[in-house]
Amino acid sequence: MTVFLTHLAPSEAVNCYQCTPANSGCGDDPFDASNHQDWLKPCPGVKTCLKTYNDDNLVSSRACNTRDECLGEEYLLCNATNYCVFQQCCYGDGCNSAPVAIPFSVLLTAFMVPAIWVFIK
């Protein structure tokens, strides 16, 4: 039983890409994960990864989340001085290498507006 539990615990952790703007290529989106496998590192005891964007909408870092659960898929995080960053939280090994996904509601709106316009005419 002890052997089973020791093998179970490490599998709960996730591997996330971990880099900052000081690392050339960290801010690329889309991110070429094949060239940066050395940045894919284990996050002991954590189940989620983060990709953080600065106020210019450029990727500023990729890291392990400090929480096991995401506050939301995407959210704005502001500090006491009103400096805000946009964060994407995800589940799964290397998930913070993926480019920003366009939410379904945006795609639906993009198709519905012309359809309504045609219908009204």
32-46, 47-61, 106-120: range with lowest mean pLDDT: 106-120
The one-letter amino acid code at 84 reads: C
What confidence category does residue 119 fall into, taking pLDDT thresholds of 50, 70 and 90? low
Could you read off the pLDDT of 77-107 as tens digits, one per residue? 888 888 888 999 999 999 999 875 544 344 4
Any idea how long the chain is?
121
* Domain around 49: 2-120
Do residues 62 and 29 make contact, with C-beta atoms less than 8 angstroms apart?
A: no
* Domains in the chain, number: 1
Query: What SS3 class is residue 76?
Result: strand
